[in-house]
Amino acid sequence: MTTLLFTIVIVTQYYNVYSYMTINKYDLSDCVLNPKLVQEIASYKNITKTIMNEVVNNGDTFYNEYANFIDKFGARPAGSVVLEEAIDHMINLTRSNGLETVTTEDVMSPHWVRGSETATMIKPRIKPIAILGLGSSVSTPSGGITAEVIVMRNFNELNETIESNVKGKIVVFDAHYTSYGETVAYRVEGATKAAEKGAVASLIRSVTPFSLYTTHTGSQEYGSNVTKIPTAAITHEDADLLRRLQDRGATIVMSINMTSTLDYKTSRNTLIDLKGCEDREKLVIVSGHIDSWDVGQGAMDDGGGMFISWYVPVIIHKLKLKPRRTLRAILWTSEEPGLVGAIEYLNRHMNELNNINFIMESDEGTFEPLGLDVSGSQNAVCIVAEVLKLFKPIDKLKVSSTVGSDITIFNSKGVPGASLLNKNERYFWYHHSNADTMDVQNKNDVVQCAAFLAAFSYVISDLTEDIPRY
């Protein structure tokens, strides 16, 4: 299939998994582990303290490297030159920390570049409307689009509206945030569903539970056999205004002008290995994505998760520890357009899937760490729960059918894994917006996330028993 179609399929699969994940009802009171394994896990108490203390003691240096990275490169869109410069930086930083086993693997990445974007309500009064184009949106025709607006609460309302009432109009989806998994459907599918009814453009209420007149971008997809129409996010405040005006019977007319380009560039996944001392072919993977959207700095999504993942093999190497299995950090590229880097890695390493003992990711913030969201068999969950006892109070355990973003595709192949749980109630306040900057982060929280992830990863990579699959 073409690269574009490939990307669309990835996005569809990703959001379907994210939207419909289910919780497995495992009862941890049913866990019956081999007493020798329980005793072995307990024996790691001192070494986990040593690892965490080392991270905390080097916290200022670690955090300054992280802040320097974010401030130096800022936003790192998929396919961009700045992303490749950021990847080079992380390669050099790894080597300067004494780890030479760093390699890259090429990934063909979509490269969508935002141009100028303006919108103005011209009836019933003149008002500028803040917009932020959604990833892969096409441009408006030369001179823009001026059309009447129709506001829809949800897809059901659109489906029930006759086509003649939508054709030639700008559809605004005023879907209020319930959860990311549910509400993101309007961002991903809104343009397609509006185009099927003959709309000339679509706008969505930004996918966020909170707004201070902020717009939030993200990836969207065009379905097959529909006209590609320009699509963008607007603020909650403007969505509410348009809703009130329509409810009062006003005729709303808006003018939109958007430009963008889309081509494909070669990017790279970055693999950093701390080779195992016994089962070198077996892998414990810890990961985060290095790319970001083109707004803000990508500090939270996913600069923090990428950096704490990168630090795992670095700090374990510094302590001269040699886990049984190879500990691999992966800095995924091009996650934001639809898990492109992860899909490429999976395809390239499909024959090695059985070598992945456990896979982890941090891509939902690096706020105060709480524990792990785990995907795997009941026995896998029981082992993770036992290991988490070493980290009280960072011992909260949630069980899901899939976890993370990039690693969902590995979970779906039966690979057990976990995503960092952290106190991220405000994550979607900043997500995919200009507000995603270093100001969101707290140094102590980020350092504690790094300390927990490094120590947990070491234990899993060193246990004599593999994490069991289904």
Which residue spans within 208-341 are E strands per DSSP?
231-234, 253-274, 279-289, 325-332
- Given the residues 335, 344, 364, 386, the one annotated as active site: 335
Give the whole-angstrom CA distance, residue 405 versus residue 408.
Answer: 6
How far, in Å, CA of 344 to CA of 106, rounded?
A: 9
Residues in the chain: 470
Give the other-Cβ count within 10 Å of 327's Cβ. 27
Which token pair is 87? 């990847």
Around 37, how many Cα atoms within 13 Å sit in the side-chain half-sphere? 18
- What is the spatial distance between Cα 224 and Cα 422, in angstroms, rounded to a whole number? 38
How many Å separate Cα 398 from the centre of its chain? 18
Cα separation of 434 and 437, whole Å? 7
Strands in 126-178 per DSSP E: 127-128, 131-133, 145-152, 170-173
Among candidate residues 359, 362, 344, the one with its CA nearest the CA of residue 302: 362
Residue 284 tokens, joined: 């414990």
Residues 362, 366, 367, 371, Cα dihedral to 10°: 30
CA dist 70 and 298 (Å) reads: 7
The DSSP element (H or E) to which 156 belongs, if any, is helix 155-160
Query: 3-state DSSP helix/strand/coil percent for the chain, to nearest 5?
Result: 40, 25, 35
b/e map 63-77, b = 16+ CB within 10 Å? bebbbebbeebbbbb
**Torsion from C-alpha of 61, 66, 71, 76, nearest 10 degrees:** 160
Q: Which of 411, 316, 397 is nearest to 358 (CA)?
A: 411
- 387 contacts 32 by C-beta, under 8 angstroms: no
Does the annotation count 335 as an active-site position?
A: yes
Angle at 306 between CA 62 and CA 279, to 5 degrees: 95
**Which residues are part of the catalytic machinery?**
335
